[in-house]
Amino acid sequence: MNKKNFYLAMPAALFLIVILVAGCSEPDILDMNLNNYRSLAMHIHPNISIEILGEKITIPQNIGASREFMSVIHTHEANGVLHVESPKPHQFMLGDFFTIWGKPFNESCILDHCIDSNHTLKVLVNGKEAKTFRDTPLLENQHITILYSRMP
């Protein structure tokens, strides 16, 4: 191959490589439909509760679950138990659940409530305060409590 043909063929070859690599990339694990998998590498059950100004908020049933789609993090009942399932090992975080639920949560806000000079937001993991908020790992038999309250 002469230099002229090489330089003409190079952009096309690079384009094909980019297309092939993009086509082989794994989908975001939060977009996986568990209905497409027959076996699971993990299945854990953390528990989450949310309390806003002293009122317990119900975590709805069937978050991330329908007849057509079953997300890697979902609920079956309105009891705060999360089902975290995956066809491959992965460390899921509390923020992943809120992403799937489509509700806001970070170090400043939970649902429609944000901290200010009169209100605080805390995350408790098994009764101990955690400063990790969205980055709180989801683990088996763990209890996560999110508290939005008035300043003492």
Record: fold of 31-150: Ferric Hydroxamate Uptake Protein; Chain A, domain 1 (2.170.130)
Number of H helices and number of E strands within the chain?
2, 10
- Where helices occur in the chain by DSSP H, the ranges are 3-24, 94-101
- 45-98 tens-digit pLDDT: 999 999 999 999 999 999 999 999 999 999 999 999 999 999 999 999 999 999
- Where helices occur in 25-111 by DSSP H, the ranges are 94-101
- 5-48 tens-digit pLDDT: 545 555 554 444 434 444 445 569 999 999 999 999 999 999 99
| pLDDT attached to residue 5 | 54
pTM, full prediction: 0.81
